[in-house]
């Protein structure tokens, strides 16, 4: 579940409203954290996504009666936020995105604009990860915390009231979001500074010209997947077998381009993993570690950083 970032001024613009309309029509179950038995498009069999109450301890009536409880606040599709409207992410896409990102118990998932908490809760309940949601609406934060308790994951899933642009989530291994393109692009420099290998997932919207590694499609919605690349621009001294040569690279996201014709034709990064195609057609693969690269039968050292 996410908050779709949308200013009131943009809401008045006809082209953008048309762009958002398909998402506004996304169906929502009566229980916003319940879901049917759905086919996971990335697995061979069905995956159960909800309802959360199936695995939760009995609900304490006092929890629902406290200020800000369920009887006082229930989210509505399209409700306004700071500069946003709220639209649910289908459970099938939640499952598919976390599956594509290969979320595991050792991961720390941070959900930006976490709404009622379903993505963070799914990461903790179904994938065993620690998770944290950042949400601007305090009523939504309170709801997400109640939902985490009902799901039995409050020990490893937390929520904070805050602005995602003023929050530190640099220790996340997986970041999920459901924002409009302008906000995705505003976040992009922050995401690209994160540790190489950090996995990024977006419902519905791209990151400008940062090409995703994968498009994730379900019957309900579409998502996108990126991996934060290592920094590998600059001049490198290679040793490949008995050969020694220099190669200069410019970098655009996960793509490395030689500055001029030479022994390396192109390169591509997936996190800290790097693969080069040599001018002779040979492929070499390895790992970037700061100013060093190495793979089977080759090494390289950065002798000049990018300008």
- pLDDT for 56 beyond 70: no
Class of domain 234-305: mainly beta
CB atoms within 10 A of CB 306: 13
Q: Give which of 221, 200, 191, 180 is closest to 84, Cα–Cα.
A: 180
At residue 93, the pLDDT reads 97
For residue 240, the cross-strand partners are 243, 298
Q: List the beta bridge partners of residue 298.
A: 240, 295
The mean of the pLDDT values for the chain is 81
Q: What percent of the chain has pLDDT over 70?
A: 72
What pLDDT digit, counting tens, does each position of 64-73 carry? 444 447 766 6
CATH 2.40.128: which residues of the chain? 234-305
Q: Report whether CATH 3.40.605.10 matches the domain 16-227.
A: no
**More confident of the two residues 291 and 33:** 291
Residue range(s) occupied by CATH 3.40.50.150 in the chain: 16-227
Total Cβ atoms within 10 A of residue 267: 21
């Amino acid at each position: 579940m996410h908050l779709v970032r949308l200013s009131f001024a943009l809401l008045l613009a006809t082209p953008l409203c048309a762009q958002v309309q398909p998402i506004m029509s996304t169906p929502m179950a009566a229980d916003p954290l319940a879901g049917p038995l759905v086919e996971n498009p990335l697995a061979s069999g069905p995956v159960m996504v909800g309802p959360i109450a199936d695995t939760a301890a009995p609900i304490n009536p006092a929890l629902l009666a406290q200020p800000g409880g369920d009887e006082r606040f229930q989210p509505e599709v399209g409700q306004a936020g700071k500069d946003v409207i709220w639209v649910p992410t289908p459970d099938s896409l939640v499952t598919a995105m976390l599956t594509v990102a290969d979320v595991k118990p050792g991961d720390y998932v941070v959900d930006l604009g976490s709404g009622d908490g379903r993505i963070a809760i799914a990461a903790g309940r179904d994938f065993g990860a620690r998770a944290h949601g950042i949400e601007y609406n305090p009523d939504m934060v309170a709801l997400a915390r109640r939902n985490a308790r009902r799901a039995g994951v409050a020990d490893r899933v937390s929520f904070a009231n805050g602005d995602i642009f003023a929050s530190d989530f640099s220790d996340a291994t997986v970041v999920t979001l459901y924002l409009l393109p302008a906000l995705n692009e505003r976040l992009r420099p922050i995401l690209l500074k994160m540790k190489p290998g950090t996995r990024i997932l977006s419902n519905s919207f791209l990151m400008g010209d940062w090409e995703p590694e994968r498009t994730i499609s379900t019957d309900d919605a579409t998502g996108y997947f990126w991996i934060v690349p290592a920094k590998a621009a600059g001049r490198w001294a290679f040793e490949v077998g008995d050969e020694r040569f220099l190669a200069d690279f410019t970098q655009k996201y996960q793509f490395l381009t030689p500055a001029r014709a030479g022994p390396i034709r192109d390169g591509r990064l997936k996190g800290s993993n790097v693969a080069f195609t040599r001018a002779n057609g040979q492929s070499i693969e390895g790992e970037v570690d700061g100013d060093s690269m190495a793979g089977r039968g080759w090494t390289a050292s950065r002798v000049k950083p990018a300008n």
